[in-house]
Amino acid sequence: INALLGPRLATEFGLGAAQLGLLTGSYFLAFIAIQLPLGMMLDRHGPRRVNGVLFGFAVAGALVFAAAEGFGGLLAGRMLIGLGVSAALMGAMHAFVLWNSRERIASLISIVYATGGLGALLTSFPLAFALGYVTWREVFAGLAAASLAVSLVMLFWVPERTAAKRPQHLGAQLAGLGEVLRDPGI
């Protein structure tokens, strides 16, 4: 998205290469920063709830980005979007483990990776097409609407499925995380 929007944003907001780079990287920084707590949230609350709630952050981020009046708004919007979609892959994998036999999990994960990669490759054409008819702000408003639909489907339509064992208490999860972080092999 940023490759196509970069020149428009640079012109409209007077952004330089460093700001465009930070704008692109901020999505990934927010995405990465939440991964360790995300695993604990998925274990405690399940992929349906975690993805449903986090997609709400993607909605907020797309709206903030669409309404941005300066670099700060663009940056905050991109970070919220990164946070909002941070559980999409891990949440799907977690759901596969809860809902499917061991024999099917590898195939399902492969399908998710292939679909995600294909989506990343094919994003530029629909975006370029849409930008011929609407503004980039309208594109992000549309992305907010789509993200809201995904969030609501996850929260209210996807059935709950819990693992056979109860999740660890938060203290036990944090102790386990500390153990992992102290491991010299990592």
Q: What is the pTM of this model?
A: 0.86
Amino acid of residue 65: F
Residue pLDDT tens, the chain, 186 long: 888 899 999 999 999 999 999 999 999 999 999 998 898 899 888 899 999 999 999 999 999 999 999 999 999 999 999 999 999 888 989 889 888 899 999 999 999 999 988 988 888 888 999 999 999 999 999 999 999 999 999 999 988 766 555 666 778 777 877 887 788 887
Buried b (16+ CB within 10 A) or exposed e, 157-185: eeeeeeeeeebeeeeebeeeeeeeeeeee
Residue 87, classified by CB atoms within 10 Å of its CB into exposed (0-12), middle (13-18) or buried (19+), is: buried
Q: Closest Cα partner for 145 from 58, 69, 67?
A: 58
Q: Tokens 């499925």, residue?
A: 161
